[in-house]
A and B are shown apart, each in its own frame.
Chain A
């Protein structure tokens, strides 16, 4: 890439601009989720994280890659790519429909603005690590960002990759974990808990910080951290269905679609006026 990113490089945002963008992307994500059975809870939990990376941090650097390892949060990513002009807005109308180019999980074959195809949980981190390693090996000034879900950290492959990072300390990689505490069958802690997650990550030799995953300033500060030879990991504590009162705390919104009536209620929560 990133021919795509380079040709439509968004301006670097900060502060109030980022907050406004996050609100807009949350509203777009809700709008795109009407009658669209997908993973709404986890789309909304990672809005600030994706906005911080793709509007706040990555645009500062000449060459970046972004891996959405929790590929089921693709609607949020599509909303961002459309907003940044990196995919055609018209493609949103055929999202996940036959003949459309935006699949139910990010696919770089049909959507060139996607850097890495994902969807099978647990695989994205290894690919991101391979990209960061290859950049260093080739002397490239490339920054790689990866967003993981907490549920997918139950996969052994994730810990293989983390162990590798402990050994090789790639500092051109930023890992964000969307710790929303939920997975398909319920609370992560009630299925196979990851806690104490930060301690576990630290014990692997990673440079770990925890923050409120909906606090853009905190996320930006976490992304700015960096120590030579250590990979920064941010455990972003988030809320599934964030920003919509009737979704927060209701696990049934892990998946499912939004009716037009529910959209109106949700948009009232976000403070949206008129069509987003």
Chain B
């Protein structure tokens, strides 16, 4: 074998597994891609390769959880959330089992692999399943902190693994599932982000500040359960609330925030995400995001445009 370095998700798992002997890792023939192969190499008895059979993999994980284990299942987001959706819903969530479904290639991060491998619907699908916790951390430090909490909590969770470019981030003990993380203060505009979009929002906020508009940035690594109190408190002071997500405009962060604010706030809302379409273009993840989701410059333009047509 050529020299192999442990991938970021593999490193997180190597840190996590010694904490709880009940954790077992199940992968669907994507262990080299995801880095779960590090677990196979270190503790082969705590690793299971289910092959390209995601429905069976979810059922296996349910059975393992019923026997007191704490399975972490990995596959690509599109295959977990869509091919194995009913197994996640019925074999796992219906029985409220402690299975942590970790997915790579969320959103457009499979980029040039094309729409078969994109997952711009996964958060919407998972959010609709009763009892499912849905998280999309911004980096691997946050991922590790969230997984520590999720492994201990009863019930299932769906976790979008960040792209490997986000390998940094300290495992902040203050990161807790369900709690929003304010990244920047500013009361004119509240930009709410999840997953990969915090850098785009922070960059846009810098540009806006130079033009006299103070934008706060609130990162929600947990889409469900939503940090309602924090969102309502911040939204109450803002002239405009903006959501930014690497996901379809239908059913994800924007929808979750809209559902909340429609019932509890008068704040105008601008939802930014991927339009209701398949993203046919090929290229890098960044190119795909800029084109199909939003770039920092485009985000500034859309926020200024919305403010100019009048937000109280």
Please report A residues at the B interface, Cβ cutoff 8 Å: 65, 108-109, 115-117, 119-120, 123, 125-135, 137-138, 140, 142, 156-157, 160-161, 163-164
Contacts and interface: CB of A to CB of B under 8 A. Distances in A.
Contact of A142 (B58, B60, B67, B90): B67
A109 B51 contact: no
A142 B63 CA distance: 13
Given A157-B56, A160-B55, A137 B62 contact: no
Given A137-B45, A157-B55, A123 B63 contact: no
Among B45, B58, B59, B61, the most chain A Cβ lie within 10 Å of the Cβ of: B59
Nearest to A144: B63
A161 B56 CA distance: 6
Contacts of B86: 120, 123
A109 B53 contact: no
A130 to B, nearest CB: 2
Interface stretch (B91-99, B216-224, B271-279): B91-99
Among B48, B55, B65, the most chain A Cβ lie within 10 Å of the Cβ of: B55
B32 to A, nearest CB: 19
Contact of A134 (B56, B63, B87): B63
Contact of B50 (A134, A135, A142, A164): A164
A120 B55 CA distance: 13
Interface in B48-91: 48, 50-51, 53, 55-56, 58-69, 86-87, 90-91
Given A130-B62, A137-B64, A164-B56, 12 more contacts: A116-B95, A123-B91, A126-B56, A126-B91, A130-B65, A130-B66, A131-B64, A131-B67, A134-B63, A137-B69, A157-B56, A157-B59
B24 interface: yes
A164 B60 contact: yes
Contacts of A109: 94-96
Contacts of B96: 109
Contacts of B48: 133
7 contacts: A126-B58, A126-B59, A130-B65, A131-B63, A132-B63, A161-B60, A163-B51
Nearest to B24: A137
Nearest to B45: A137
Q: Looking at chain B, what size class is its interface with the partner chain?
A: 20 to 34
A140 B55 contact: no
A126 B95 CA distance: 15
Nearest to B64: A134
A142 B91 CA distance: 20
A130 B60 contact: yes
Contact of B69 (A120, A134, A142, A156): A134
A276 B68 CA distance: 39
Nearest to B46: A137
Contacts of B64: 130-131, 133-134, 137
Interface of B: 24, 45, 48, 50-51, 53, 55-56, 58-69, 86-87, 90-91, 94-96
Contact of A163 (B53, B69, B87): B53
A133 B56 contact: no
B101 to A, nearest CB: 14
A16 B65 CA distance: 38
Among A117, A130, A133, A135, the most chain B Cβ lie within 10 Å of the Cβ of: A130
A160 B53 CA distance: 6
Contacts of A126: 55-56, 58-60, 62-63, 87, 91
B271 to A, nearest CB: 34
Contacts of A125: 59
A125 B59 CA distance: 8
A109 B131 CA distance: 13
Nearest to B63: A130
Contacts of B67: 130-131, 134-135, 138, 140, 142
A166 to B, nearest CB: 11
Please provide the 9 A-B residue pairs with the shortest distance between their CB atoms, ordered closest to farther: A130-B63, A126-B59, A160-B56, A134-B67, A130-B60, A160-B53, A131-B63, A134-B64, A127-B63
A123 B66 CA distance: 14
B293 to A, nearest CB: 34
A156 B64 CA distance: 21
B53 A164 contact: yes
Contacts of A161: 56, 59-60
Among B53, B56, B95, the most chain A Cβ lie within 10 Å of the Cβ of: B56
A129 B51 CA distance: 15
A65 B67 CA distance: 10
B87 A138 contact: no
A117 B94 contact: yes
A164 B63 CA distance: 14
Given A134-B63, A164-B56, A127 B68 contact: no
A40 B1 CA distance: 58
Contacts of B95: 108-109, 116-117
Contacts of A156: 55
A153 to B, nearest CB: 14
A267 to B, nearest CB: 36
